Structure 1
């Protein structure tokens, strides 16, 4: 039935498969930026917290009887920490983007989305293509022009990522400024890869730019990256959270977030808050090694190396595995050009990162392919 499509993927080196990697490989592929996934004491804390309740399953949708005291506690902790009026848990970042875009794009609304926005967000626009305008990546001038050309009476949402997942770029402050000066406009910030990696206290894009006024901001923060758990949270003014609670299909018609993941997020969040300065200093040391060795400066928890074609990328990926390092090999159509995505997880030692950086430097095919600007 699908043999020709699969053969075509094999031919262009785009065929993918699930793989159980050798656990002895040093993990530079995951989004576990702060290394929390290996802290068994935090897992035990989460288990103990969950065990204190009679029920350990969410059982149903949050609007039936699946809403649990752990859910409420996590929402309150995040709203307080991130200084938002209200918060709403969702099952994942994908479901969060689906909730925002499918629900907020009412008849009189337009969405202006960065062309490099998360795939989950781009997918969510497919149902309402006539209400979506894409602007060039991180291009505030292009956004301004498209806003100028749009009907003035429309409700407008501007969607960006705090740190872009495939190039590690930080969105410019001007997107916030444009939102503030545009009537009936809200800024949606997907903080999947910026929470836990940028900002004075690693709280993400908004803290990085010291943004305090949040009455026109909607923040999507996921738990599966720096917090090494699962799920996500939408933070916004109360009226928006109430509207999403009553209208978002990916909230209403899905089982509430797993209680084990909720308890684990709470345990990891508590550790993160207590250790944020130490975590920030440690991440900075890994970033500095990459800059000193490869000349690549990254503000995020990862960096990327671009390749001319898929075979060159896969050769480099295989070479690094042979040397004991697992990195991400990202191919089109996920990205426009093949790239290695190297995560600076704190579960790896500084010595490991030095060894990886030197291995990259000494690999001639990579030297001729990656960009260090």
Structure 2
């Protein structure tokens, strides 16, 4: 018997054993985070390659702080901060590394972190590394945050961690959180991984959606592997905040700088979204209404969670849908409290595809 056989057997019995799932080009992709279909646009890839090929080296070679910083990094940081209205920006190798570095660095001894209980796993892992106090509040619940603030006075900084659109529930951050952060002089971290490219008149996320002008207290983090069709992450904030992260965020300091091709590809995706935002906004609005006729509420982003009665049912329904040509995600505990299907409304697909999907789900449920 191997070293981890018992643990693997327990995962199998509980229905929580995971295996990599190969994307099938023959099926309709309703599972991935490629919201705007940029992962399929070969023209963007060619342009990104040309950006990188214009330089004598094509890999970062070292960390940002040992000569790995490249004009391709700098140019994208400049474009991000200018479009989003922030003073400074910096890049990380992935969204997981960005959240890990952000939270571990920002929460110092004597500080208190107030974090949504549904915050991404990367942030929750980071809470185990901080020296200050960590307080969870009820998901997207401003009242509970206010109660937690009253119950946990602190002499240090108060730091708030929330998401623009939550990756599992699919709901949008309530505007009241921006107000609470201002009332209590809180540093506010907003993970825009699932709201960038989805919300706002300029498709720049929840700040854009609510018309929030970034202030020194605000920190915006986001990934490049979703709406922008690449890989990596960014963090934006005040010059002071970004300088602090550059000196304290271990997942950035002690890692090779982000891939030049990935950053160049994200820059092309970013420019594409800016250019096509009106057309994309119309398509997003149309897709958000496609499940209403089948009894699903209009989502606040592009994520539709479909509750399932149990783990076996979630997996069985996903497999049944795959046989019909639909790829969706079956999300199981401990990622979520209750099993569900996670449907992503992707703009390359048509509303009729989703109406067909939801009809299949209803038929499957009726037959169980």
Q: Which category describes the TM-score, using the shorter chain as reference length?
A: over 0.9
Contact between 1:193 and 1:225, CA under 8 Å: does it hold in 2? yes
Q: Show CA shifts across 1:266-303 (max 9, x none).
A: 11111110001111111211111122333321021120
The question of 1:45 aligning with 2:47 is answered yes
Instruction: Give 1:60's match in structure 2, choosing from 38, 55, 62.
Output: 62
What is the CA-CA distance between 1:152 and the residue it aligns to? 4.3
Query: Paired residue for 1:340?
Result: 341
Q: CA deviation at 1:191?
A: 0.4
What is the CA deviation profile of residues 341-363 of structure 1, one whole-angstrom value per residue up to 9, with x for unaligned ones? 00111222333223223322333
What is residue 362 of structure 2 aligned with on the other side? 361
How far is 1:61 from its partner? 0.2
User: Structure 2 matches for 1:1-373, cutoff 5 A?
Assistant: 1-128=3-130, 131-183=133-185, 185-365=186-366
Instruction: Give the secondary-structure state (helix, strand or coil) at the position aligned to 1:286.
Output: helix
Distance 2:93 2:175 in 1: 29
C-alpha RMSD of matched pairs (Å)? 1.4
1:196-248 per-position Cα deviation (integer Å, ceiling 9, x unaligned): 11112211111111111422111101111111111111100110100110111
- Tell whether the 8 Å contact from 2:30 to 2:344 is kept in structure 1 after alignment: yes
The whole-number CA distance in structure 2 between the counterparts of 1:28 and 1:241 is 36
In 2, Cα distance between the equivalents of 1:68 and 1:365? Answer: 56
In the alignment, the residues of structure 2 paired with residue 96 and residue 239 of structure 1 have an alpha-carbon distance, to the nearest angstrom, of 17
Instruction: Name which of structure 1's ranges 237-246 and 128-137 shifts more when overlaid on structure 2.
Output: 128-137
1:32 and 1:225 in contact (8 A); partners too:
yes
Q: In terms of mean alpha carbon deviation, does 205-214 or 259-268 score higher? A: 205-214
CA distance in 1, matches of 2:138, 2:316: 32
Please give the alpha-carbon distance, in whole angstroms, between the structure 1 residues aligned to 2:243 and 2:130: 22
Cα distance in 2, alignment partners of residues 47 and 294 from structure 1: 45
TM normalised by structure 1 equals: 0.95
Structure 1 segments of 4+ aligned residues over 3 angstroms from their partners:
none
Moved more, 213-222 or 228-237: 213-222
Structure 1 distance, partners of 2:214, 2:229, is 29
Normalised TM-score (structure 2): 0.96
Structure 1 residue runs of 5 or longer lacking an equivalent are 369-373
Conserved in 2, the CA contact under 8 Å of 1:312 and 1:365? no
Q: Distance in 1 between matches of 2:296 and 2:43?
A: 37
Distance 1:212 1:21 in 2: 39
Task: Give the Cα–Cα distance (whole angstroms) in 2 for the partners of residues 295 and 242 of structure 1.
Answer: 45
* TM-superposition CA deviations, 1:30-54 (whole Å, max 9, x none): 0000111101111111111111111
SS across alignment from 2:8: helix
CA, structure 1 residues 8+235, in 2 after alignment: closer, same or farther (shift >3 Å)? Answer: same
Equivalenced residue count is 366
Contact 2:203 2:273 in 1 (8 A): no
Is the 8 Å Cα contact of residues 127 and 134 (structure 2) preserved in structure 1? yes
